[in-house]
Copies of this chain bind each other. A is one copy, B any other.
Amino acid sequence: MIAVDVMGGDHAPYVVLEGALAAAKKTIPVVLYGPQELIISWLDEHACGWEIYPITIVDAPDIIAMDDEPVRAVCKKPSSSLVKAAVGVAEGRCSAVLSAGNSGALMAAATLCIGKSDGVERPAIAGLLPVISGEVLALDLGANIECRPHHLLQFAHMGNAYAQSTLLVQHPRIGLLANGHEEGKGSPLIKEAHISLKKETLNFVGNVEPYDIFAGKVDVVVCDGFSGNVLLKTMEAVAELIASKIDLTQAQALKSHFSYQRCGGALLLGIKRPVIVCHGCSDAKAIENAITTAWNVSA
C-alpha cells in the first residue's frame, strides 16, 4: 500500500486525490492521509462507487505548509497528513510514501520517522534524467545544498546500489559533475571527492560535464544539491522553452519526455523505505505516475 499525503502540493488536495484515484483504478492500493470528511466528500462527488477501489482513508486533520520550518513542523504536527503518512510506512502499514508538499519536511519526517539506511549520513534526492538513450540517475538534486566530500562519496554508493538493484545496471558508470574532465577541475569539494572516489570499489569514470550526462556516458551522476538543482531545473526550463518554439506535435512529445510528470517525482535515497518527493506544482497525472513509481520500487 502506498501512503499518499493528500494535503501536500500547490494544487492539493484535489489534484492529489484525482491522481490517487487514477492509481487506485489501476489496482494500486493507496492510503490517503488527510482530513477524512474532505476526502470522503470529494470521492463521493467525483467517483461514485469508489469503495470498490483499493482506497483506505486515514484521518489527518493537520497540515504542514510549504513555508513551515521543516524539522519544527514535523515535531510540532504529529497529526499532519505528511507526518502520519510517513509514520504509516515506519509502522509497516504502507510500503512507500509520497508527498508534493514541503520537501524539507518530507525529508525530515522520513529521517525522523522511517530512519536512514545504515551508513548514510544524509539522504539525497535522486532523479532520472532523460538522456540520448535511456536515463541517467542524478543525485543529489536539492536536498543537501552544502556538502562535504564524504557526502558525495555516500551519494555515489547510494546511486550505485539503486542503479544495480532497481535499474538493473550491473556495473554502473559513476560520474562526478564538474566544470571539466581533468582531475584538477572543480571546487575544492569536487577535487577532494574525485580523489576519494578513485579509491572506492566503484566503477568511477571521473569528472563529467552536462554534455556527457545527456550523451549517456554515465549511469549515475553525483553532485552537490545546489549544482544538481541547477542541472535539473535548467534541463526542464530549456526543454520547456524549446517546446514553446517548435510545432505542437513535437512539442508535446518533448514536454512529456523532459517533464517531471513522466516518473512523477524524485526518490529520496538513503531512507530505509521508498520515499517519493513530488514537485510542488504536480498535477494529477504526475501524482498518478509518482504512485506508480512508488509501487514499482516497493514491489
Residues of A within 8 A of B (CB): 67, 131-132, 142, 145-146, 177, 179, 182, 185-188, 190, 209-211, 213-215, 225-227, 229-231, 233-242, 244-247, 250, 254, 257-258
Contacts and interface: CB of A to CB of B under 8 A. Distances in A.
A279 to B, nearest CB: 12
A169 B107 CA distance: 42
Contact of A145 (B186, B233, B239, B242): B186
B227 A230 contact: yes
Contacts of A145: 179, 185-187
A211 B188 contact: no
Contact of A233 (B185, B186, B209): B209
Given A177-B230, A182-B67, A226-B227, A187 B146 contact: yes
Number of copies: 2
Contact of A226 (B132, B186, B233, B236): B186
Contacts of A227: 226-227, 230
A131 B211 contact: no
Contact of A234 (B185, B186, B230, B240): B230
Contacts of A131: 241
A213 B231 contact: no
Given A188-B146, A237-B213, A179 B229 contact: yes
B242 A254 contact: yes
A213 B236 CA distance: 12
Contacts of A241: 131-132, 214-215
Closest A-B pairs by Cβ, 6 of them: A234-B234, A179-B229, A210-B234, A210-B233, A214-B237, A210-B237
A91 to B, nearest CB: 32
Contacts of A240: 211, 214
Q: Which of A227, A235, A250, A254 has the most CB of B within 10 A?
A: A227
Nearest to A130: B241
22 contacts: A131-B241, A145-B179, A146-B187, A146-B188, A179-B225, A187-B226, A210-B234, A210-B237, A210-B238, A211-B236, A213-B237, A214-B237, A215-B241, A227-B227, A227-B230, A230-B234, A231-B234, A238-B238, A238-B239, A238-B242, A245-B257, A247-B250
